[in-house]
Amino acid sequence: MIYPFMTLSDNTEITFGKPIENDTGEHVDVFIETPVSTGFKNAYCRLPEYAWRNVDGYSDAEIQYFQELLESTAHLIIRFSKQGGMGCAANI
């Protein structure tokens, strides 16, 4: 299941998945996608370790911006992922 988190002014969509448990602990995948004339730019970031992967089309400066944005909101994303998305997070 993918949950919406934020839409930026340039129509960049930030979404996240349910928490995933593995041998290294629990993590949440965050998906970032921006429409462009040729399709989409996209990237994935795994929280809480901020491991970026599958970065396609974004500059280093853009990834740095997203890094800072996620650092300031990761606690919310992780919390909402455990509660089934923002729609189920009425008790924060």
**pLDDT tens profile 3-46:** 999 999 999 999 999 999 887 789 999 999 999 999 999 999 99
- Domain assignment of residue 78, yes or no: yes
Provide the number of structural domains found in the chain: 1
- Domain assignment of residue 26, yes or no: yes
- Domain assignment of residue 7, yes or no: yes
- Domain assignment of residue 90, yes or no: no
**pLDDT tens profile 69-90:** 999 999 999 999 988 776 544 4
pLDDT of residue 90: 45
- Domain assignment of residue 89, yes or no: no
pLDDT of residue 23: 79
- Domain assignment of residue 64, yes or no: yes
pLDDT of residue 86: 64
Do 27 and 19 touch, CB atoms closer than 8 A?
yes
- Domain assignment of residue 21, yes or no: yes
What range does the domain containing 42 cover? 2-84
